[in-house]
Amino acid sequence: MMTATPDTTDLLSMRLFFETGATRSYAFRKQQLELLRQAIVKYDVEINKALYADLKKSPEETFSTETGLILSELNNTLKKLHRWMKPQRLKNNLVNFPSSAKLYHDPLGVVLIIAPWNYPLQLLLIPLVGAIAGGNCVVLKPSELAPATAAITEKIIKDVFPEQYVKVIQGDGAAIIPGMMQQFRFDHVFYTGSIPVGKIIYQLAAKDLVPVTLELGGKSPAIVERDADIKAAARRIALGKFINAGQTCIAPDYLLVRDDIAEQFIATLKETITRFWGKNAKESSDYGKIINERNFDRLSSYLNEGKLVMGGETDRSSLFMAPAILTDVALEAPVMEEEIFGPVLPVLPFKTKEDAMAIIKKNENPLACYVFTSSAKKEKEWMESIAFGGGCINNTAWHFANHSFPFGGIGNSGIGAYHGRHSFNTFTHAKPVMKTPTWFDPDIKYPPLKGKMKWLKLFIR
């Protein structure tokens, strides 16, 4: 794939198209969203082939974690867009009586969306839905590490949208993106990926005061209390951890299990993994592969950093790594200091909540946190003790699919949020406007102010 910084003329043509006002109407935005929805359905077979080529995703997994989520986001947005676009009436205060107040949502302009390789279609197109709904022109940068998906994405976008409205940029992101951001001022940059690259994007945007949304990662814990439903916890943790071969930003990165149930829980987890993907996960049509050799080698090195109590079978030629469970892991080991992003799951027993919190604080602000307990009191204690992006009680990962939830991180795990109305808000500017009639214009607001203090205190409160 060729790598070249896009011609600035192309980006300027997008700016000119935006400034015509063509993207602003409800009818236009609705039409574009409907066209995108039709294209996702039209190219379903090619999408399935591409995601199998890049990540060995089955059609069922592709629908559950990629196309189905995109279609759901499109359906929800089409249903609610008119309401979101309508100026929102707000309350006014006494000092501004009898003015009215409204909140308008203005398009930002030309925005850049940069996607990762692990869910290469939906993490590009779900933000696109929000950007279109917001009335923007959009530059899309798919991940070059998932080339088949990048190719079908470009085919879809070219089939649906004119290039001055939505444009796909291909190539090596590390080479293309800095040059593009230095030559052209985007009105918003939306990046999903690693923390180190997110910091680079943030620095590039800062010089021109470009607002950013950063959807990053971190080490997301799953905590299993002794009163948890062990069978349900094992099923839900196994799914959240090992779907897409563990290459999920909100996957449980490591488990903290009460020491007196740890042995029982590990045994149940092992049985669950075998039930889901068989004794040889390599033969399972539901189990994916590692994205490339670089990540395969990194993940393979983790297998030697603890006691391997299950899995760990590998085949570099096919980028296969079986679901692996590690125990007796040192907190200073790389597997406990780096985001794993693969099918390796350290299990750490803990005696007290303080012990668990000390481990969590070594990697603060995870993108997700999962707590398994039947106690409302413990649930409350854990939720109030940990700062994290979003999470679940007695589940993992599925909060991502809730349109009502803002999805995003905190601190090291990201800036900003999206999904549903939150995507629309991210890709628009909330513009407050006050309208004041002229028939009421009391002198108390105007100089001279001497002697009016008691009235000012009455109205300004």
Instruction: Report CA-CA distances (Å) from 257 to 44, 117, 221, 263, 356.
Output: 41, 31, 10, 9, 9
Q: Which tokens hold the place of 409?
A: 């991180």
Helix (H, G, I), strand (E, B) or coil at 101: strand
Instruction: Reply yes or no on whether 249 is catalytic.
Output: yes
- Strands 212-215 and 137-141 come out as unpaired
Q: Which of 322, 324, 318, 330 is nearest to 303 (CA)?
A: 324
Which is catalytic among the residues 215, 225, 305, 339? Answer: 215
Q: Which of 356, 311, 128, 111 is nearest to 221 (CA)?
A: 356
Cα(131)–Cα(133) distance, rounded to whole angstroms? 5
Instruction: Report CA-CA distances (Å) from 298 to 116, 158, 305, 316, 409.
Output: 18, 36, 12, 12, 25
- Give bridge partners of residue 254 from the DSSP assignment: 221
**Contact 216/367 with Cβ under 8 angstroms?**
yes
DSSP string for 350-371: ESSHHHHHHHHGGG-S-SEEEE
Which is catalytic among the residues 137, 249, 369, 392? Answer: 249
Query: Which residues are tagged catalytic?
Result: 215, 249
